[in-house]
Structure 1
């Protein structure tokens, strides 16, 4: 396995950098770099720019309107966009539902939904977690009962990220109580404008209403919105989660956060010297950088295996665990570096155009916000405890 870039891959990296220099709006990169709250219009603007270039469906084959990039190209693209402080690609439609529809959806579903994901006509959110069914998704209770040409859906989903912006939601629903719990789950596409759907925001500890509760009361969903076969949704859910967990590792995001930590440590003082010169703090930074370099190598190994046609298995769980732990450690060190300015804050100061003055230097407020927001990294996509069980079953048990 060769972990260095070829001349062609270096040329591709230069192409991505040139595109970002020309097309990434400074207003958006400044918001991302400054830790400001992004709104729906920000994401839509960046998605439209990428789609015009043909670079929104980075994981999609060309036959469905994607880039057709290999795993290394996708890795380079993530590295360069995070380095340039570009908004993330909202993953729910492009990186989660899209691959599921390509593999398990009907031709009619593919023809209808996939172009609308790329064009931005549909904004999707994810209806997996419920109270009492987070990492244990086999316990979902939201029901979908067949009634002629429709399913009648009742129940509740929670932690629905950016659901306040969505007009569509893909859901795991209970269509049978017979047999094992996993055998009675189906994968259903639901229009958020359907009568009986209610979205209630949840304000997080960082002050932002990023996630929501979604309630369903006698919601009528056409039978043709079922993806694949009834009661086979567990298979589709696992396929989706494998892709999600690998993405959560976030090597590019961790690298950008580490560079920001180094910048702050060079500005903050400890004992009259820059904090980065403090041996104790510098040792902590060195350790997390070593861990990140090792994880990046593992990520490249996984990418090389994927490029050879091998599907990620336990590796996606390993990357999810290590990646989230490293990102949280960088967030904790950054918050430690800003010292007393990491106290509770007025979250409105992160809104664009807000007439609220933050306390302390401009880098203190985003450091605190990132610390609080990213506490969830080790929980969503399947908690790290569950990932360790997956690894033990896949690798350690004979």
Structure 2
């Protein structure tokens, strides 16, 4: 893959840098560095307004095709945007699930009516989305989904009626809509008989309960469906073929959105380096070597993300998940070691975590959520190396 920048790309970089410099001012300047891993609730409403400001100036959905309201930017220009966004210390975005995951999925699999209904509001950040995949009995083993939906109504268009529970649903408390993987064919199992439904959250049949975490936040939620309803035409793809749509969406999750995730990683790494300078830990050759390894790992993730986007080969998504999940967890551990003994106690009552304690605690889950390390290694062993499949009941 050619990683060189053309003259047009370099001009684009200057344009992005200038725009961010001109716009991250006033109240928006106060948002620099806010949000990110373990801090998704931080200044959420203010960051939402920043996202809408980006939208008004054409800086959302930059990789979407122009016919769907995007800017149709090249892969390299998307990378440049994320790089400059990180350098500007701009706040973490709040519209990731709509812009980076559902939007591309609707472009690939949605009907014209679905695209017309939802894409403009995603692009303008007028409607927020959350993801209804994981369940108490279906986390990394997503094919074990038990949430059910049945079609009611003999007239047009009819309605899907949904019953079940989802869990670990990020930012559901702010979402207007949730895309739900539900079992719509009675008696089906595993990958068969699932459908990908678009469901409004603001209705009596949907209850959202926050899950308080060690980091003191509650960006994760339980979502309960008790006779929740959505129009029959809000199924993406054919009924019963939801597994393919869901896997397509996860492909987007491992795609350009990975570069957005690395915006936060780069910011955190730079903060750890500054912490090491302030404490004098940077003079310790062992810790300095670990910082150097972390820097190399950060660049490796960037190059691997680019490789994945340009084709990547089989198993690229699982490799990416293994790499960034373990890198981020090690960064949290390194931050605690650099902070020293002060990292072992909170700074105030009752439970006042500092930035590095929050990073350490949150990153313990990185090798579990989104597909655990064990599941990713099984995928690589079975689908890439051709080893025998693990015995399943």
The TM-score with structure 1 as length reference comes to: 0.88
Matched, 1:385 2:374: yes
**Equivalent residue, structure 1, for 2:183:** 174
Counterpart of 2:268 in structure 1 is: 257
| Equivalent in 114, 131, 136 of residue 131 of structure 1 | 136
User: In the aligned structure 1, how far is the partner of 2:370 from the partner of 2:238?
Assistant: 23
Change (3 A) 1:23 1:34: farther
Q: Deviations over 1:348-367 (max 9, x none)?
A: 99xxxxxx9x6xxxxx8111
Q: What is the distance in 2 between the residues matched to 1:32 and 1:185? A: 34
Return closer, same or farther for 1:31/1:152 CA change in 2, 3 Å cut-off. closer
Give the C-alpha shift of residue 381 in structure 1.
Answer: 2.2
Say yes or no: does 1:238 pair with 2:247: yes
Aligned residue-pair number: 376
Q: Aligned Cα RMSD in Å?
A: 2.4
Q: What residue is the counterpart of 2:358 in the other structure? A: 369
Matches within 5 A, 1:277-292: 277-292=283-298
Matched residues in 2 for 1:102 and 1:34: separation? 28
The reply on whether 1:315 has 2:316 as its aligned counterpart is yes
Q: Structure 1 219/251 Cα, relative in aligned 2: closer, same or farther at 3 Å?
A: closer
Structure with more of its chain in helix, by fraction: 1
Distance, in Å, in 2 between the alignment partners of 1:39 and 1:142 is 33
Q: Structure 1 100/35 Cα, relative in aligned 2: closer, same or farther at 3 Å?
A: closer
Q: Distance in 2 between matches of 1:366 and 1:153?
A: 40
Superposed CA deviations along residues 245-292 of structure 1, whole A, max 9, x for unmatched, are 343473333322221111110110xxxxx2101112112212222233
Q: Determine the C-alpha separation between the residues in 2 that align with 1:383 and 1:42.
A: 33
Do 1:244 and 1:381's aligned partners in 2 also have CA atoms closer than 8 Å? no
Structure of greater relative contact order (alpha carbons < 8 Å, 6+ residues apart): 1
Structure 2: how far apart are the matches of 1:137 and 1:109? 25
SS at match of 1:171: strand
Given the superposition, is the C-alpha separation of residues 120 and 341 from structure 1 closer, same or farther in structure 2, using an over 3 Å criterion? Answer: same
Cα deviation per residue 1:186-239 (whole Å; 9 max; x = unaligned)?
Answer: 001111112211010100110001111010111122211111110100000000
For the residue of structure 2 that corresponds to 1:199, the secondary structure is strand
For the pair 1:210 / 2:214, whether they are aligned, the reply is no
**Ranges of 4+ aligned residues in structure 1 off by more than 4 Å:** 32-37, 346-349
> Paired residue for 2:115, among 110, 122, 126?
110
Q: Structure 1 residue 34: deviation in Å?
A: 12
